[in-house]
Amino acid sequence: MTALPLADRTITEVAAALRAREVSARELTDACLVRIERDGERLNTFLALDAEGARRAADDADRALSAGMDGARPLLGIPYALKDIFVTRALDEDGNDLPGGLPTTAGSFILSGYRSPYPSAAQEALERAGAILLGKTNCDEFAMGSSNENSAYGPVRNPWDEATVPGGSSGGSSAAVASGQAYFALGTDTGGSIRQPASLTGTVGMKPTYGRVSRFGMIAFASSLDQCGPFGRSVRDVALVLGALAGHDPRDSTSVDVPVGDYAAALDGDVRGLRLGVPREYFVAGMEPGVEAAIRAAVETLRGLGAEIVEVSLPSTDRGLATYYIIAPAEASANLARYDGVKYGLSAGADELWENYDRTRGSGFGPEVKRRIMLGTYALSAGYYDAYYVKAQQVRTLIKAEFDEVLSTVDAILAPTSPTVAFKIGAKTDDPLAMYLNDACTLPVNIAGLPGISVPCGLSDGLPVGLQVIGRAFDEATVLRVADAYERAAGFASLRPPTARDEQ
Amino acid sequence: MASITRDDVEHVANLARLHLTDAEIDRMQAQLSNILEAIETLRDVDTSQVGPTASVIRLENIMREDVASLPMARDAALANAPLRDDPFLRVPTVLEEGR
């Protein structure tokens, strides 16, 4: 076992120790809770916590483990956190508060105090797998953002440098996993919201193929792009969690019935004979030299492991941003129409219905959400629909076709996850377009619906850099295999931020 | 090109049922113009022979067996409503008298 403190170890390490009864689920849970107590408020990682419920679940897990009743529960006794965009059951049948039930806000004032009457598919799947829910993590409002500065509940700080952002929109999840507050966490990724924060916090984050994981109970941002996925401290950990999440769910009609492999068991560290493409368009102007150097070095590491590296071209890459910023806001403007001040959430209390809509939405949504609703409504409005929305859908066809063509000649694609390392809090808040450019390397993958992972590939200026591996639809296995082989060879897997220490 | 007017902003805000303050309208006008200018670069792409993609997966009707099941309990469904008049949701006035 490594010399890292208990809270900073991988699931793979602590799960083995759990089964050998060298450590208890209660100790793992307390290790996370101690870190949350010490660093949580300062980093602003959690929006809701159920410490008592987590301890109770840990004791249950310990009893099951001692009795040899671990079943086939791969995550039994492992504490985790959910991005506060997944609903968690907080009401009983009679509408009364369940003890320990966690509210769901999506990082927005408009859902302040919302208590869900039902659980998300992700929460159910992880409960079945035996994992212990600690709480809900901070995020950009309705998952719209690249820095976590758009949360109505304040920005999250990056444990590597607390003056910088942890990425977004799943910034609370990335920061929690990086700083030992949870062994894994879930995020959602519409344009990079798992991979980019993973890159900025030195964690592993995966967006599965669109349709791989159920979106039931995941608050919608852009329904043709959203997908749920894990953050972890190793590729193997992420593979384990993905295995628990993946699969068809009749409650999400876009979840696809494709067999789920044993992702973790297939990680053999061998990439010999694989063809990996490096798209020249991903090494863009504005990319930090330190990031480019780390990515180039990672490519050489994989070449050294026996992969065949080929340069490829995805010529429409620079159209991704414009395509995304039509499609995503258009879908968001329709999805967010449900916040009407009538069924749940904030209500302005106006006497007349239209006035109540206007005032509730005007006071409940933050600036970025308003911007996207406006942009999307504009793109869908009479006279602009064909010029913007249909045009973007046509370019989407081209972007997807280019990926399909390249992925018919290579097994996976290697690219940077983010063109920069973590930037200072406040540095880009006045310039939405500059903020949007953070996701230039990740959002084409959502447009094409493909699986992608970010794995740490070193530091630049003392801050983490992420290598992105992109694969064919439903071929998460190859994406994970490449990322795992790289992780083993590169020696960055044990990088931890300054928070990774216990008090003496 | 993509410069949008104050009237445009107010029109779209009304379509979106989104109250904006005067200061927000000013800011929105500048920011949306800026973003739309970047977005309009798509005009250069030749899509004359390209169909639109709404979803990357094949969308088709999904049929299920017509089996009765219990819906969400009424009290649980109503529990988050800002205004209730059990067993109903209460909605502010939609039509005023004489209109």
pLDDT tens digits along A352-363: 999 999 999 999
3-state percent helix, strand, coil for chain A, nearest multiple of 5 = 40, 15, 45
User: Which of A374, A381, A400 faces B53 most closely, judged by CB atoms?
Assistant: A400
Higher-confidence position of B92 and A180: A180
Is A83 a known active-site residue? yes
Question: So what's the pLDDT on residue B3?
Answer: 79
pLDDT tens digits along A30-55: 999 999 999 999 999 999 999 999 99
Residue A231 has φ and ψ, to the nearest 5°, of -110, 140
pLDDT at A431 over 80: yes
- Mean pLDDT, rounded, for A221-247: 98
pLDDT at A242 over 60: yes
DSSP state letters, B32-57: HHHHHHHHGGGGGS--TT----S-SS
Question: So what's the pLDDT on residue A264?
Answer: 95
Residue A434 pLDDT class (50, 70, 90 cuts): confident
Question: So what's the pLDDT on residue B99?
Answer: 52
pLDDT at A98 over 90: yes
Higher-confidence position of B64 and A475: A475
Whether residues A375 and B57 touch (CB distance < 8 A) is answered with no
Residue of A147, A151, A179, A193 marked catalytic? A193
- Residue found by looking up tokens 């950009």 in the block: A140
Q: What are the residues facing B85 on neighbouring strands?
A: B88
* Cβ–Cβ under 8 Å, residues A146 and A431: no
User: Which of A253, A356, A371 faces B28 most closely, judged by CB atoms?
Assistant: A371
ipTM above 0.90, yes or no: yes
Smallest CA–CA distance, residue B68 to chain A, in Å, is 15
Structural domains present in chain B: 6-44 (1.10.20.60)
User: Which of A343, A377, A449 faces B89 most closely, judged by CB atoms?
Assistant: A343
Whether residue A315 lies within 8 A of chain B, CB to CB, comes out as no
**Which amino acid is it at A440?**
A
Give residues with Cβ within 8 angstroms of A405, minimum separation 6: none
Residue A108 pLDDT class (50, 70, 90 cuts): very high
Rounded to the nearest integer, the mean pLDDT of chain A is 96
* Cβ–Cβ under 8 Å, residues A175 and A157: yes
Whether residues B82 and A342 touch (CB distance < 8 A) is answered with yes
* Cβ–Cβ under 8 Å, residues A79 and A131: yes
Question: So what's the pLDDT on residue A329?
Answer: 98
Question: So what's the pLDDT on residue B13?
Answer: 98
pLDDT at A427 over 70: yes
Report H helices in A305-389. 320-335, 353-364, 367-380, 385
* Cβ–Cβ under 8 Å, residues B41 and A322: yes
Smallest CA–CA distance, residue A304 to chain B, in Å, is 35
CA distances (Å), origin A238, targets A46, A233, B99: 21, 8, 59
CATH class as words, domain A6-316+398-490: alpha beta
- Mean pLDDT, rounded, for A464-493: 97
Residue of A24, A146, A151, A169 marked catalytic? A169
Residue A433 pLDDT class (50, 70, 90 cuts): confident
Residue A409 pLDDT class (50, 70, 90 cuts): very high
DSSP reduced 3-state for A150: coil
Question: So what's the pLDDT on residue B63?
Answer: 87
Residue B1 pLDDT class (50, 70, 90 cuts): very low
Whole-angstrom distance, CA of residue A109 vs CA of residue A365 = 7
pLDDT at B60 over 50: yes
Give residues with Cβ within 8 angstroms of A218, minimum separation 6: A85, A86, A87, A120, A121, A122, A188, A226, A228
User: Which of A319, A356, A373 faces B45 most closely, judged by CB atoms?
Assistant: A319
Least confident of A294-308, A322-336, B29-43: B29-43
Residue A211 pLDDT class (50, 70, 90 cuts): very high
Whole-angstrom distance, CA of residue A96 vs CA of residue A360 = 25
Give residues with Cβ within 8 angstroms of A347, minimum separation 6: A341, A356, A360, B82, B83
Residue A476 pLDDT class (50, 70, 90 cuts): very high
- Mean pLDDT, rounded, for A161-181: 98
pLDDT at A422 over 90: yes
Whether residues B20 and A256 touch (CB distance < 8 A) is answered with no
pLDDT at A490 over 80: yes
Structure tokens at A283: 């090494």
Angle of the B22-39 helix axis to the A320-335 helix axis, nearest 10: 140
Question: So what's the pLDDT on residue B2?
Answer: 58
Q: A374: which chain B residues are within 8 Å (Cβ-Cβ)?
A: 9, 12-13, 16, 18, 28, 32
Report H helices in chain B. 6-15, 22-39, 74-78
Per the rule left: phi > 0, alpha: psi between -120 and 50, beta: everything else, A89 is beta
CA distances (Å), origin A212, targets A242, A256, A260, A397, A430: 9, 6, 9, 20, 36
- Mean pLDDT, rounded, for B35-48: 94
Residue A451 pLDDT class (50, 70, 90 cuts): very high
Q: Which of residues 424-453 of A touch B (CB under 8 A)?
A: 432-433, 436, 448-449
Smallest CA–CA distance, residue A448 to chain B, in Å, is 7
Whether residues B81 and A316 touch (CB distance < 8 A) is answered with no
Q: A396: which chain B residues are within 8 Å (Cβ-Cβ)?
A: 52-53
pLDDT tens digits along A58-89: 999 999 999 988 778 999 999 999 999 999 99
> Which residues of A58-210 form beta strands (DSSP E)?
79-83, 132-137, 184-189, 204-207
pLDDT tens digits along A247-279: 999 999 999 999 999 999 999 999 999 999 999
pLDDT at B97 over 80: no
Smallest CA–CA distance, residue A217 to chain B, in Å, is 14
pLDDT at A457 over 80: yes
Question: So what's the pLDDT on residue A1?
Answer: 43
Q: In chain A, what are the domain boundaries?
A: 6-316+398-490
Rounded to the nearest integer, the mean pLDDT of chain B is 91
